[in-house]
Amino acid sequence: MADLRDKLETLNTYIGFREPPIDVVGLANLLGIKVYDAPWPESVSGKIQKDERKGGSSGFAIFVRESDPETRKRFTIAHEIAHYVLHEHLIGDGVFDDAMYRSGLASNVERQANNLAADILMPWSYLTPMINGKTAKDLAETFNVSEQAMQVRLGIFA
């Protein structure tokens, strides 16, 4: 089990050497996690679980609802990566996130995962210098996130 500091260092180094949009599958792979599509109903977004057969070198695999829009899949993958980085000790047999990113874990734990997912997808180091004169829609395209996710990041609530 890699400790939190090692994981955050891997994550920050990865992000620091890239341009947006951040490749979240590449980040997962670097952390030793494999990512798969799954044929789920609309009520389920993603899952992270220990998986001896399908897991990467960390032992974990992420599954994401294959028919979700790309921006949503990217957020889901970032959210599940965040569970691995921050909450590996809580994952147990697996964490199943519904469409609202509720899983049975405490709501503050889900909030932490959403916050780190936003940090992965929309790092302030790239976002801040770009904000001036751009709309949330422009920035959402640059970072390949939903306009809604960018509005939340920017503190704009429609």
Closer to Zn ion by Cβ: residue 62 or 136: 62
Closer to Zn ion by Cβ: residue 77 or 150: 77
CA 62 – CA 27 distance, rounded (Å): 12
Closer to Zn ion by Cβ: residue 40 or 126: 40
Binding of residue 97 to Zn ion (CB under 5 A): yes
Q: Scan for tokens 């932490």, then name that residue.
A: 112
Angle between helices 70-91 and 4-16 (to 10 degrees): 160
Nearest approach in angstroms of CB 143 to Zn ion is 21
Q: Which residue is nearest to Zn ion (CB)?
A: 97
Nearest approach in angstroms of CB 158 to Zn ion is 24
Show contacts with Zn ion in window 37-96 (CB under 5 A).
Answer: none
CA 7 – CA 58 distance, rounded (Å): 11
First to last CA, the chain: 41
Closer to Zn ion by Cβ: residue 113 or 150: 113
Nearest approach in angstroms of CB 82 to Zn ion is 8
Closer to Zn ion by Cβ: residue 20 or 73: 73
Q: Which residues would be at the binding site for Zn ion (CB under 5 A)?
A: 97, 101, 103, 110, 113
